[in-house]
Structure 1
Amino acid sequence: MKKSYYLFLLALTTLLACETDFDVNATWKETAVIYGLLDQTVDTQRIIIYKAFLGQESAYTMAQEADSFHYAEGDLEVFLYGLDNNGDTVQKIELEYQITNNRFSTGFDTIFSTEYSVEYFTAESLNQSLTYHLYVRNVVSNYVARSTTNLIEPLEINPGFTDEITFFKNNEYRIHRLRWSSSTFGKIYKPFMRFYYYEKNILTNEVVRKYIDLSFPQMYSQSISGNQNMELAITGENFFYFIKNSINENLNVLRINAKDLEDGFVGYDYWSGGIDFYFLVGGEAISQYIEINNLPSIIFQDPPTYTNIENGLGVFSSRLNAESIGKFLDIQTLTELANGEITSELNFIEP
């Protein structure tokens, strides 16, 4: 065990990203497929690990045998090592095994290569200042796979001069510009706009809060050095048609755009918020994976053509969640929402 550990520490200084093609029916060789995005803004880190189909039989035939696809509990030891700028290990985390039926999702516009049912997780907090090294070892065969990633630094979102948002003014649609500075170690950015609204059923007087999300195309910074000015322009026409196409007409409900109601339904002075912005930020490795592998694939197709896993397949990178919340529409935009040509049939109340 000590020998493997020292070999691991030596290998940490020589990790390289690589791009490799594989023959799925080559002579059998143990190869782990690893997907993981470390995110210090969430409570739990999850890493997916399973076996690649690298053997003499077809992938379909091998998939019928559970032990040809999933590692059994106890087969692997999975560690995260947090190293400081001097290369010293200051944090060691052993990940736990659990079975799940979900699909691994990056949150970005890409499709990972497989469904899965086994993941390794930890609820231990991560340290922003450390570089994290992943170490995976099969205790039966002594097979080892490794990778490394930095954590993305916090995203600086420009708050603007006011929380008020204008999409319509003086009988014209207006553009709202969402601005931010790129994060160190961040490469890919995906913004979302969340629109909150309340519905009151006029037959039952039941009031329900709902929301819809508008997802924007992902954007890339020029580098991972940070401090690049970035901007998303959201047009008024896009905003109003998004509302129209996302909410069904219903003569039995009245609606208002608000995130919270302090007192009552109809008093505009008590409407609070109504618009939040959210971001997903991805590291350089997941950005490269998306650019190269952004085509649909399924469990029995070829393994991914890009990997930054040493002696394995997949991607190990970082992700960050960020938000700018508490925004609200100005009165002219709310009036257009209630009475305008695009959304007048949705029964939003005029302030």
Structure 2
Amino acid sequence: MNFRKSIFLTIFVALGLSFLVSSCETDVDLIAPYKSTPVIIGILDYTADSQFVRINRTFLGEGDANIYAGIRDSVEYNAAEVEVWLYKRRNGNLQDSIQLQYIVKPSRDPGVFYNQNVGFYYTSQDLFTADEIADIRNASFGNNPVLMTYELKVIARGEIYTAETDFPDISSSTISTPLPANPPSKLELYRQSFNQYAQVTFAYKLKSKTARNLGVYRLNYDYVTADGTTVTNQYIDYKLGATDNSEGANNQNAYFTFNAQSWYEFIGPKIKAIPNVTKIRIHNTEFRLTGANGILNTYYKVANPVSEFTPVLNTFTNLDNGAIGIFGARSTVVREAYILDPGIEIMNMGEFTSAPGLSYCVVNWASSLYVCNP
């Protein structure tokens, strides 16, 4: 299956209020002139299909601020006021430039900043060629490694704000286990002879230009509802944790380990919450390793975001001209895996994932007893 990936390069431009207080009065004029202070959050990912940029401003007006937060015109700049560019450099020399285009996409979940459709600046252009990606991934080797970077340039109401980022050097060979195989290796999640869930270990190598590693175990599936409708390209991500490599260790072994029971406990409620679901058609599972570069890792430490790769506003910055925020990079590599039959059987019969009228099967897995009917 083709599970589309995308990463949002998010830019929030916040305007700070200036309070006008006279020497003889205590009244504060909240609708007075104010100074613009951009807050720019950007993460590039060359393994994603598209890069998105969002540019916002704080709302300003009389009345309930929550009402303004729900009105798109109160928080977005006019697209004519903003330009966003990406500049590719090889060892400091300019190679290419990309101007991001404006697009309106459906709104996020209700209650998140505002509830109308959202304006973005985006590009679907590849950030690097295959040879340039190889240069990035070989940055830990040789005496003269190539340095590939991108510069972000934001022009907002005539003011220019820039930052630069390099890229983490993880590759598919960074993952040690599961081993690469065709068809994919099958993981032991349940030990039927011992009537117990198994310990699962994913192994990988630390890379010197990858300062932070985030592990995820993903289940890719379709589901069928009671009326026969099939909903495709679904997934559930189970986070395995994050490791810090700010010291730049290279080719040292590292591991994510978990008990499979916790995974079944995690996915079960999510699957059973699907309205009228009758069948889960499992395509595969994936060990997904996402690496962050040094500046992004520093940001995570300082800002302490609520999730590993979701940035939050903070006074830490690598932007110039008075802007605050972060412009960094990450990339993701994936190793596909199947599940041994006892692990599928426990899905159908176990306390965490089973439910009346619900069954689990696998799509085109060789020698499995649980292959889905066409």
Pairwise same-fold verdict (TM > 0.5)? yes
Determine if contact 2:318/2:325 at 8 Å carries over to the other structure.
yes
Residue 109 of structure 1: aligned partner? none
State the partner residue of 2:77: 71
Residue 198 of structure 2 aligns with an amino acid whose one-letter code is: R
Deviation at 1:124, TM superposition (A): 2.4
The 1:328–1:304 alpha-carbon spacing in structure 2 relative to 1, beyond 3 Å, is same
One of 154, 171, 175 as aligned partner of 2:170? 154
Following the alignment from structure 2 to structure 1, what is the Cα–Cα distance between the partners of residues 334 and 160?
38
Instruction: Kindly report the root-mean-square deviation, in angstroms, between the aligned alpha carbons of the 2 structures.
Output: 4.4
Match of 1:25 in 2: 18
The DSSP-based 3-state class of the residue aligned with 1:247 is helix
Equivalent residues in 2 for 1:249-260, closer than 5 Å: 255=279, 258-259=282-283
Secondary structure of the residue aligned to 1:43 is coil
Q: Identify if the C-alpha distance between structure 1 residues 293 and 207 changes in structure 2 by more than 3 Å, giving closer, same or farther.
A: closer
**Deviation per CA, 1:120-169, whole angstroms, max 9, x where unpaired?**
2223221345211112234x64x221111112233322243571111222
State the match for 1:232 in structure 2.
Answer: 256
Which among 126, 146, 153 is matched to residue 135 of structure 1? 153
Q: How far apart, in 2, do the equivalents of 1:213 and 1:37 lie?
A: 23
User: Does 1:42 pair with 2:48?
Assistant: yes
Instruction: Name the amino acid aligned to 2:50.
Output: T
The 1:310/1:113 distance shift into structure 2, 3 A limit, reads farther
Contact kept, 8 Å, 2:54 with 2:121, in 1: the verdict is yes
- Residue 79 of structure 1 aligns to a residue whose secondary structure is strand
Contact 1:280 1:321 in 2 (8 A): yes
- Does the alignment pair 1:321 with 2:328? no
Contact 1:197–1:255 at 8 Å: present in 2 too?
no
Structure 2: runs of 5 or more not aligned: 1-14, 20-32, 137-147, 307-311, 362-368
Give the TM-score normalised by the residue count of structure 1: 0.66
Q: Does residue 97 of structure 2 align to residue 92 of structure 1?
A: yes
AA matched with 1:137:
I
Amino acid at match of 2:166: N
Deviations 1:268-319 (A, max 9, x none): xxxxxx32233433333333333333467xxxxx963222211212221112
Quote the residue 1:262 is aligned against.
Answer: none
Distance of 2:56 and 2:351 partners within structure 1 = 53
The answer for unaligned runs of 5 or more in structure 1 is: 1-21, 105-111, 260-273, 297-301
Task: Give the conservation status (yes or no) of the 8 Å contact 2:206–2:245.
Answer: no
Please state if 1:176 is matched with 2:200: yes
Does the 8 Å CA contact 2:223/2:279 hold for their aligned counterparts?
yes
- Distance in 1 (CA, whole Å) between partners of 2:237 and 2:326 is 28
Once the two structures are superposed, what CA deviation does each residue of 1:208-229 show, in whole Å capped at 9, x if it has no partner?
Answer: 7675514215403222745343
1:8-62 per-position Cα deviation (integer Å, ceiling 9, x unaligned): xxxxxxxxxxxxxx97536843322222211111232222233468x9x99959x
Instruction: Return closer, same or farther for 1:244/1:304 CA change in 2, 3 Å cut-off.
Output: closer
SS of 1:186's partner is coil
The yes-or-no answer on 1:287 pairing with 2:305 is: no
CA contact (8 A) 1:25 1:59 kept: no
Pick the aligned partner of 1:248 from 234, 249, 272: 272
Residue by residue over 1:218-273, the C-alpha shift from the partner in whole angstroms, topping out at 9 and shown as x without a partner, is: 403222745343211121321332343333399x98757641xxxxxxxxxxxxxx
Tell me the alpha carbon deviations over residues 160-213 of structure 1, each in whole angstroms, 9 at most, x when there is no partner. Answer: 357111122221322110112234543333333233567678x87777767551
TM superposition score normalised by structure 2: 0.63
Q: Which stretch of the first structure deviates more once superposed, 121-130 or 33-42?
A: 121-130
Equivalent AA in structure 2 for residue 154 of structure 1:
I
1:305 matches 2:315: yes
Task: Check the 8 A contact 1:337/1:348 in 2, yes or no.
Answer: yes
CA contact (8 A) 1:183 1:224 kept: no
1:331 to 327, 337, 341: 341
Q: Secondary structure in 2 aligned to 1:50?
A: coil
Contact 2:215 2:287 in 1 (8 A): yes
Distance in 1 (alpha carbons) for counterparts of 2:333 and 2:317? 27
Aligned partners of 1:34 and 1:47 also within 8 Å: no
Q: Is 2:251 aligned against 1:223?
A: no
Instruction: Report 1:52-71 matches (<5 A).
Output: 60=65, 69-71=75-77
Q: Is the 8 A contact 2:272 2:353 kept in 1?
A: no
Specify whether residues 347 and 68 from structure 1 end up closer, same or farther in structure 2 by C-alpha distance, changes over 3 A only: closer
SS in 2 for 1:287: helix
Percent of matched pairs sharing the same residue? 22
The residue identity in structure 2 corresponding to 1:315 is: I
Asked whether the equivalents of residues 271 and 353 of structure 2 are also in contact (C-alpha less than 8 Å), the reply is no
Q: Which has the higher contact order (CA 8 A, sep 6+)?
A: 1
Q: Taking structure 1 as reference, are residues 209 and 134 closer, same or farther at Cα in structure 2, changes over 3 Å only?
A: closer
Number of corresponding residues: 297
Q: 1:284 to 1:318 in 2, by over 3 A?
A: same
